[in-house]
Copies of this chain bind each other. A is one copy, B any other.
Amino acid sequence: MLVEFTIVPIGLGSSIGDQLAEVLKIIDASGMPYKVNPMGTVVEGEWEEVMNLIRKCHKTVMKTGERAITTISIDDRKGKLGRIDAKVKSVERRIGKSLKK
């Protein structure tokens, strides 16, 4: 399944780049397929491995802060793998044009 998630530490000031850097280090080291974007990170995997990764990231942010808002969006489609690359390519094929990524 494809999963996008975002963790926002609350109460640490309006600049949260240090916490996000810790989170991205964990994601990058996980070996799971991922793509980072300006609003979150998309990962692809089975329920358990994805949720374990998100839990680890969330717990890391909660170590240094009092509160965090974590948002998770799951797109689960039977029998489809490699969608982290295929979904945007499929749309580009339909449009006949390369999109900004």
Contacts and interface: CB of A to CB of B under 8 A. Distances in A.
Given A36-B88, A84-B38, A14 B77 contact: yes
A40 interface: yes
A4 B40 contact: yes
Contact of A37 (B15, B78, B90, B101): B101
A10 interface: yes
Interface in A23-75: 24-25, 28, 34-40, 42, 47, 51, 55, 58, 62, 65-75
Interface residues of A, number: 57
Given A37-B4, A42-B37, A14 B67 contact: yes
Contacts of A71: 71-74
Interface of A: 2, 4, 6, 8, 10-11, 13-18, 20-21, 24-25, 28, 34-40, 42, 47, 51, 55, 58, 62, 65-78, 83-85, 87-88, 90-91, 94-95, 97, 99-101
